[in-house]
Amino acid sequence: MKRSLFILAIIFALLAGGAGWYVNSKLPVRDGEIAMSRLQAPVTLRYDERGVPHIRAESEADLYRALGYAHAQDRLFQMEMLRRLARGELAEILGPNLVETDKLFRTLRIREHADAYVARQDKNTPTWKALEAYIDGINQYQDTHARPMEFDALGIPKRRFTTEDTVSIGGYLAYSFAAAFRTEPLLTYVRDQLGPQYLKVFDLDWHPDGMLGSKPALASADWKGLAQLAQLSHKALEGAGLPQFEGSNAWVISGSRTQSGKPILAGDPHIRFSVPSVWYEAQLSAPGFELYGHFPGLNPFAFLGHNMDFGWSLTMFQNDDVDLIAEKTNPDNPNQVWYHGQWVDMKRTEQQITVKGQAPVTLTLLESPHGPIVNNVMGKNAGQTPIAMWWSFLVSANPVLDGFYEANRADTLDKMRSAAEKIQSPGLNIVWANAKGDIGWWAAAQLPIRQQGVNPSFILDGSTAQADKLGFYPFSANPHEENPARGYIVSANFQPLSPTGMQIPGYYNPAERGQELNRQLSDSTIKWDLAASKALQLGTQTDYAPSILKPLIPVLRSVVSDPEKSPSWSGWPAGKAITPLIRWVPHCSTSSCST
């Protein structure tokens, strides 16, 4: 008996020791020395009490190579998931439930665009050398360390990261900003099936016919497919378990309005909570270069942060950079569409999607002159009308990596403005301040020139000139402000105004958040400090709820006062149910409502 217990103790000890060794082998390295290849000089990597890396190097190449190494040891699984989502490769590790998500992202053509984008880049530019050094740092970490536990659990093989992966993730970010898939089918359905009068409930500038006198003819099967496409677009991001970008607040206050006499910049990108965070926080130091920033996965350039001269934050511009286009097909040849007065063949390609535990799935991709056919992903539920997608991300030059590389080291107003001009997709509001006391905001995007009278909030008719683009507006026509006399700037996803007065189609949020910020910041008697700005950041009140409740409460009162109309839920009378709503002081704090 004692011998058996002794043997069991030994087995348990071995198992515990093995488990400890296994877990320890997966942990990031926080002290000691690491031998990295291709470093020109020693690099110092220090982690502070919050786990934020502070990297000091003697050259830019060494700096970005070390950043890639540090980023990988903390976030390798996140990087793997991001690149697989963007390139349509999740089903390979997560199984058949992710096939539809893979189909959607392959249909968007992000992977082909990324490959072509990388192929035409000048690899000798400072931006590209920095990116390649960063990717090399990631791969060096992966080559010399055990796979993270998530890789073991899911059976993910090691595979080298590439610059194409970085560009692909940029496509995922741009897609996550675009609301066209969720809104344009809905608005078109309301207009065509219910009547244009019902569009008035939506907060948008609208032409009842989308374009005066012309709208596509869609059958009921087409509407069913479009509805499912809208749902798939939403579920694709949900099912992948990755956070979504859902809005933002930012403001900047001039030194004339602050206690210190220096500008105050506040930014709050509204990204759904996730573990790990979307952002990777790090400080980078090299001779002539200091940056403290927040980096997205698989990207070496800070999207928000500050150097010694500029600080900047971001909000979503929410400009409409996607058009959905209903194509007219040839009755005698369904592979042809009517384009500029003639029947034109659609391009057809096939791809194989690897599926864990099952046979590969063949995906047929179609492309019209307007762009990829996106409802084809629905298979038999796609309807008879091909719906093409025009997306500025796929057609613009979009030197966005150059833009953020230059923003990270901008030391003059002209350099920062030039950096913002290179950020073309996704559309972003860049709110900034500099050490000289300037404040500003630029809406960074390449805005298409559409045909006169076209409202891209609706599905367009591909058999006419509706979907044709006449080029892009110059950056100077984009909404922007620099050093306004009122002494502050607010950005909260509401519709901005162009200096030229042109309308900028988009899927903007209601203005209440911006109005509340403007109300508080417009009080010229207040001298702002960091504490007051933080309090504003944590504010819990806007006018949105009162504006909704004002007409709603009388209707609810009339309903609950009528015994025949008044419902109950699980024996709880409706009158009691709306009492907290009537008494509610419209703050969004957790203690703002009590029964």
At 73, the amino acid letter reads Q
Q: Which of 168, 248, 392, 491 is catalytic?
A: 248
Active site residue 248: yes
User: Kindly report the CA angle at 245 between 497 and 312, in degrees rounded to 5?
Assistant: 60
The owner of tokens 């999740």 is: 90
Task: Please list the residues that pair with 543 across neighbouring strands.
Answer: none
- Helices H / strands E in the chain, number of each: 17, 25
The answer to whether the beta carbons of residues 440 and 334 sit under 8 Å apart is no
CA atoms within 13 A on the CB side of 310: 27
The secondary structure of residue 431, as a DSSP letter, is: E
- CB-based contacts of 72: which residues, under 8 Å, 6+ apart? 79, 137, 138, 141, 142
**Residue entry with tokens 């320890």:** 24
Bond preceding residue 126 cis, omega within 30 of 0:
no
Phi, psi angles (nearest 5°) of residue 499: -65, -20
Residue 276: cis peptide before it, omega within 30 degrees of 0: yes
How many other C-beta atoms are found inside a 10 Å radius of the C-beta of residue 37? 10
Which residues participate in the annotated binding site for Ca(2+)?
Answer: 184, 320, 322-323, 456
Can you say which residues are annotated as belonging to the binding site?
184, 320, 322-323, 456
d(CA 223, CA 579): 40
Nearest-angstrom CA–CA distance, 322 and 459: 10
Q: Which helix (H) or strand (E) holds 290?
A: strand 289-295
Active site residues: 248
